[in-house]
Amino acid sequence: MNRPAGRRVAQRPARRGLRIPRPGPDLIIGLVAVLVTGATLATVAEPDQHTPDQARTPGATTLTQAELTCPAGAEITVAQPLESEGAGALTATSGDAEPRAIELTSGTSTVVPAARRDATVLRATGDRAPGLIAATRDRGMLAECVTPGGDWWFAAAGAGGLHVSTLTLTNPDDTPAVADLEIWGADGPVASDAVRGIAVDGGRTTALDLSELVPQRDDAVVHVIVRQGRLGAAMHDETVIQAKDRGSAHPATQAPSTRAVIPGVPGAGARLQLVLGNPGEESARAEIRVSGAASESAPAGLDAIPVPAGEVVSVELDRATRKLLRSGGASLVVEGTAPLVSSVRGTAQGGPITLGAVPEATRRSAVVLPRTAERTLVLMTTAGATPVTVHFEGAEPWKGRLVPQASTVVPVPKGATLAWVEATTPHLGAVRGRTATGPVWLPLRELREDRRVPVVQPDQLRSP
């Protein structure tokens, strides 16, 4: 793959001197009057430096344009949970094909064909943009569509042996995008020129096999840093189970944090390991807790896990931890003495599975539900107790209450295809299901309803 060579930024030519006419007496008198008046007004209008300036808070305006990048697959479920009566448009574009118009009524979902060999970019404008959400289905697998951005984290990635991960980068724009990868393994940071300056042309998708980029047998943490443009990042795993290659989606995980929650961890019969990455320069220790139906508790006899600076540690979940997780409706909580990246991977219900730490949603969140009778939706609040309403497309809503440090299992009605959550405090969650090909897991993501617009104050425009 060709990478763009560095380019020098041309310097601006020096300005030539301007000949300014000598001002006359009338002009001088006028300028003095203007300066005196301006100084007086500035003194009157100067805000109190000791009073919080509420106008500096970024404002919010309704989102009128949204994009999602979807992994290759058989079909895409597209939804807009939020009700809207305004006009808007929604299109799907795959590779060099012309954009396809999608008919979508607000408050509902629809299914459209995906591209088998290429990612699909969804574009919404007007009143179709707020709250847009989607997921790709393919042979029982379910992978979320993501909003293009500039920073992505993946833990528990494989780069050889029986577990290989492929990172897919999709550029939704017309101009090129450039990204670097930071990769850590059990022996520390991985140095390779192959992970620097990865160029993705406009409207294109690049697939990166980690076993070719940075071959190793240990679990890895991957950080995608977009240096130019925007990219949607997705990861797919191939895992050998009983001499057969099994594919599965590999969701992104929360950025480094001193507290991470992985909701909806499989219970009885699962063989799982926790993968912890420490991208910082200080060694850390991680304490593991399990959030059950009533509270959080520490597994008996489990000591804090040391995670050296710049390294990745994989720990198999022991019997005491598995016992606390056996219900299938619990969550794993990781608390570190320094910011850590965490994911869980392994086998459950006959197939491979990877779960990521889920960041909190401050308002409303949603998730596309797997098409299977066996589905578990798990919710947690990250603040105080709060009433919660879970809406389902095609079924009656569920109303209940979330309690701090407890995981709440919400029954998913038969036939429901979409769930969206409304709570008065920050919350997080995930849905887990079992299909004919194995388990699926998808996190709740906050619905993007508006965009933040910074408010510029007059004093910010003054020259220093």
CA distance 170 to 229: 11
420 pLDDT exceeds 50? Answer: yes
**DSSP collapsed to 3 states, 222-245:** EEEEEEECCEEEEEEEEEEECCEE
Percent of the chain residues past pLDDT 90, beyond the cut: 71
Q: pLDDT (tens digit, 9 = 90+) per residue, 291-344?
A: 999 999 999 989 999 999 999 999 999 999 999 999 999 999 999 999 999 999
3-class SS of residue 37: helix
pTM, rounded to two decimals: 0.84
What is the distance between the alpha carbons of residues 40 and 233, in angstroms, rounded to a whole number? 55
Per-position DSSP letters for 256-319, written without gaps between them: SEEEEEE-S---TT-EEEEEEE--SSS-EEEEEEEE-SS-EEPPTTPPPEEE-TT-EEEEE--H
Give me the amino acid identity at 222.
V
17 pLDDT above the threshold of 60: no
For 203-225, write each residue's pLDDT tens digit: 999 999 999 999 998 999 999 99
Q: Please list the residue range(s) of the chain that carry CATH number 2.60.120.
A: 59-140
Q: What does the pLDDT average to over 423-445?
A: 93
Q: Which CATH architecture has domain 59-140?
A: Sandwich (2.60)
pLDDT over 80 (residue 390): yes
Dihedral pair phi/psi, residue 37, rounded to 5°:
-65, -45
| Alpha carbon distance 261, 429 (integer Å) | 9
Write the CA distances from 320 to 293, 298, 329, 413, 446, integer angstroms. Answer: 17, 9, 16, 32, 33
Reply yes or no on whether the pLDDT at 406 is more than 60: yes
Burial 279-302 (b: 16+ CB within 10 A, else e): beeeebebebbbbbeeebeebeeb
Considering only 28-37, 64-73, 195-204, 268-277, which range has the smallest mean pLDDT?
A: 28-37
Q: Is 53 helix (H, G, I), strand (E, B) or coil?
A: coil
First to last CA, the chain: 46
For residue 6, what pLDDT is reported? 33
Given a contact cutoff of 8 angstroms between Cβ atoms, the answer to whether 133 and 447 are in contact is yes
253: which 2 tokens? 């995980």
